[in-house]
């Protein structure tokens, strides 16, 4: 029960931070995706069922605000979750540098995959632009160590976390 409450708390915080960062950085034309940073942390630290479920729901949260297509973000986030869950055993996610690299790469993957999905299924373009995505991926990468540290702190010694 406590774990479930902690998960809900984390998800709500993730959406709040995502909203705040997206609204703030949109003024400077930067496409920040803090929810993806949280999803990366969930997938690196949580057991598989929790990681996949949270990634899917986070994607749906973003889809809720879309106008052209529904389900593209859920798909993208699930693909990202698959990747992170599979590379997590070979990555040292306790260190900040691997966290930053993973988030940087995932932001690009999510941006490109999302653009492709919207182009294929809705014949529309949601490409935010190269520099916008570059700026966003750098900011996402810089936020990654803080997000990982915080998620781990909230769920300290919880049964949701992967066994080390």
Partner 1 sequence: MSTPKHPISFKTYTGHYRRRYLLPVGFLLVSFLLMILPLDGFVSSVKAVMAYIFIPQVRVAHSAVQYAQGVSQTVQELLQAHQENESLKQEIQNARLSAIQAQEVFAENERLSALLKLQSQQPWKGVWAKVAYREPSQWNSIILDKGASQGIKERSAVIAVQDEQAALAGVVVEVNENTAKVLLVRDEEFSAAVRLEKDKGEGLLVGAGPRAVQVKYLPLLTQIETGERVYTSKSSSVFPAGILVGQVSRVHPSTAFQNSLTVEITPQVRSEAVQEVFVILGK
Residues that bind partner 1 (CB under 8 A): 12, 15-16, 18-20, 22-24, 26-27, 29, 31-33, 48-49, 52-53, 55-56, 59-75, 78-79, 81-82, 85, 111, 114-115, 117-118, 121, 124-129, 132, 136
In terms of CB distance, is 97 or 120 closer to partner 1? 120
In terms of CB distance, is 8 or 149 closer to partner 1? 8
What is the rounded distance in angstroms from the CA atom of residue 6 to the CA atom of residue 50? Answer: 12
Residue 159 Cβ, how far from partner 1 at the closest point, in Å?
15
Distances, alpha carbon 147 to alpha carbons 66, 94, 141, in Å: 25, 12, 10
Residue 143 Cβ, how far from partner 1 at the closest point, in Å?
13
Q: Spell out where the chain has E strands.
A: none
In terms of CB distance, is 96 or 138 closer to partner 1? 138
What is the rounded distance in angstroms from the CA atom of residue 145 to the CA atom of residue 164? Answer: 19
In terms of CB distance, is 83 or 96 closer to partner 1? 83
Residue 71 Cβ, how far from partner 1 at the closest point, in Å?
3
Residue 99 Cβ, how far from partner 1 at the closest point, in Å?
20
Provide φ and ψ at 53, rounded to 5°: -65, -45
In terms of CB distance, is 36 or 100 closer to partner 1? 36
Residue 146 Cβ, how far from partner 1 at the closest point, in Å?
17
Contact (CB, 8 A) for 55 and 80: yes
User: Which residues are CB-contacts of 73 (< 8 A; sequence separation ≥ 6)?
Assistant: 59, 60, 61, 62, 63, 66, 114
Distances, alpha carbon 90 to alpha carbons 46, 84, 85, 142, in Å: 15, 10, 10, 21
């Amino acid at each position: 029960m406590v774990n479930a409450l902690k998960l809900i708390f984390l998800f709500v915080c993730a959406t709040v931070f995502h909203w705040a960062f997206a609204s703030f950085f949109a003024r400077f034309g930067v496409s920040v995706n803090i929810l993806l940073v949280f999803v990366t942390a969930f997938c690196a630290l949580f057991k598989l069922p929790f990681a996949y479920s949270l990634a899917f729901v986070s994607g749906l949260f973003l889809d809720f605000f879309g106008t052209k297509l529904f389900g593209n973000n859920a798909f993208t986030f699930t693909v990202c979750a698959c990747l992170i869950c599979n590379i997590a055993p070979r990555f040292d996610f306790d260190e900040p540098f691997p966290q930053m690299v993973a988030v940087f790469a995932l932001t690009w993957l999510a941006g490109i995959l999302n653009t492709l999905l919207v182009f294929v299924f809705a014949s529309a373009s949601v490409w935010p632009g190269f520099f916008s995505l570059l700026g966003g991926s750098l900011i996402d990468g810089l936020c990654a160590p803080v997000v990982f540290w915080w998620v781990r702190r909230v769920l300290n010694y919880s049964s949701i976390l992967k066994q080390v």
